[in-house]
Amino acid sequence: AQKITQTQPGMFVQEKEAVTLDCTYDTSDQSYGLFWYKQPSSGEMIFLIYQGSYDEQNATEGRYSLNFQKARKSANLVISASQLGDSAMYFCAMREGQRRKLIFGQGTELSVKP
Amino acid sequence: DVKVTQSSRYLVKRTGEKVFLECVQDMDHENMFWYRQDPGLGLRLIYFSYDVKMKEKGDIPEGYSVSREKKERFSLILESASTNQTSMYLCASRVSLGGTVTFSGANVLTFGAGSRLTVL
């Protein structure tokens, strides 16, 4: 069973608008962490934001925020005021409990239009 | 200030060749990882190493082996390359998470730029 699901293979957004990238996860652990990474065309993965399962507030990092809905098992990334440089692949990932490995979703390709 | 370096950005090999992908990190991280990235499949873990000479299979280890003789270097080996191993390979490293569950943004993976392998 897929542990991390990103249902949007591709998204378009107009420059300066906000966009939400969906991520749902599946785990029976009570303790886990959720991550979002950006991968520009250069290929290098860039860490954006992190949410712990026990964190009571949604994480925010500059223009990035994570809409964490624990009961729904969703951890959507919200990018406010999109910029052309936001065009990239975005990956959601999860680490469960004490397991060492990070599991990634399929990715969403975001294109920002001028 | 490059922190995770993958020695080859692009490689073209022939079926049956032995292929070495090298990864070096300069952050004194205990944990190192090899992922494979394919369109529509995201990143899938091949192998990871939580310390020198220690390794553990990931989700898709078949056809691959790894070597970690020194803390800073983690090598991925394709013993006999096949066309279905044509892919982007990403190396990553992280500090050890220790024996407790400590979730912190500092425990993120740092990735290299990737190695795009084509097997003909």
For residue B14, give the DSSP letter: -
Q: Please state, in angstroms and rounded to a whole number, the distance separating the CA atoms of residues B104 and B61.
A: 28
CA distance B105 to B87: 29
Instruction: For residue A33, list chain B residues with Cβ-Cβ distance below 8 A.
Output: 103, 107
Number of neighbouring beta carbons within 10 Å of residue B47? 23
> Out of B41, B45, B114, whose CB is closest to A43?
B114
Strands B10-13 and B115-119: parallel
Q: What angle do CA B40, B90, A40 make, to 5 degrees?
A: 65
Chain B residue with minimum CA distance to A52? B103
Question: Chain B contacts of A35, Cβ < 8 Å?
Answer: 108
Residues of A with Cβ-Cβ distance to B50 under 8 angstroms: 100
Neighbouring CB atoms inside 10 A of B41's CB total: 14
Query: From B112, which residue of chain A is nearest by alpha-carbon distance?
Result: A44
CA dist A42 and B28 (Å) reads 25
Res A97 pLDDT > 90: no
Look at A106 and B42 and tell me if their CB atoms are within 8 Å.
Answer: yes
The pLDDT tens digits of the residues spanning B47-104 come to: 999 889 899 999 999 999 999 999 999 999 999 999 999 999 999 998 776 554 555 6
B107-118 per-position pLDDT tens digit:
688 999 999 999
Residue type, B60: I
What SS3 string covers A4-43? EECCCCEEEEECCCCEEECCEECCCCCCEEEEEEEECCCC
- Position A7, amino acid: T
CA angle A36, A31, B31 (to 5 degrees): 60
Count CB neighbours of A48 within 10 A: 20
By CA distance, what is B55's nearest residue in A? A100
Q: What is the mean pLDDT of chain A?
A: 92
CB contact under 8 Å between A101 and B114, yes or no, is no
- How much of chain B exceeds pLDDT 70, in percent? 88
Q: Express each pLDDT in A57-77 by its tens digit.
A: 999 999 999 999 999 999 999
